Amino acid sequence: MFEIKKFSFNESDLTKQAFAIRHKVFVEEENIDPNLEYDHEEDAHHYLLLLGGKAIATARWRETEQGIKLERFAVLPEFRSRGLGGIILKEVLNDVVPLEKTIYLHSQLRAVPFYERHGFVKEGNVLYEAGMAHHYMRKI
C-alpha cells in the first residue's frame, strides 16, 4: 500500500521523483520561481510517499541555527484530502522529535489548520516567502 522512502540528495532517481512533485505543486500550481524552490538540497533529509510504487508526496527537513526546519511538504493534487500529508508529516516527526531541538516551519496560510491538527502553534506575524504569506509555526 503506502511506502515511505527516506533519501539524500545524491540518490538521483528518488530526487528526480521528489523534484517532479515539487515542480508540479510549487512551480506550476503556485508560480514559485524555480530558483527559489531548489535550495539547501544537499543539507536536507528527504522523504517520498509512494502509493503502489508511484511517488505522490514529498517533504524534507534540515537543521538550521534555530533548530529543525520542516520544508517542502507537497502532495500531488489528485491525492489531496486523503490524509497523506499527515502520513508523511508523522514520519518526519518520528525522525526529528528525538533530536530534542526546536521543530518549526513556515506554513502557507491555507495549510495552518493542517499543522495545528498535528501539534504546531502559530507564533508572530505573517511573513512573506516567495511572494506568498506564511506563518512561523513551532511544534509543541
The predicted pLDDT at position 131 comes to 87
* Contacts of residue 16, Cβ cutoff 8 Å, sequence gap at least 6: none
Instruction: Indicate the CATH number for domain 2-139.
Output: 3.40.630.30
Provide the residue type at 4 as one letter: I
Q: What are the pLDDT digits (tens) for 55-100?
A: 999 999 999 999 999 999 999 999 999 999 999 999 999 999 999 9
* Contacts of residue 48, Cβ cutoff 8 Å, sequence gap at least 6: 4, 5, 7, 14, 17, 18, 21, 55, 57, 58
Q: What is the mean pLDDT of residues 51-55?
A: 95
Domain assignments of the chain as residue spans, ordered by start: 2-139
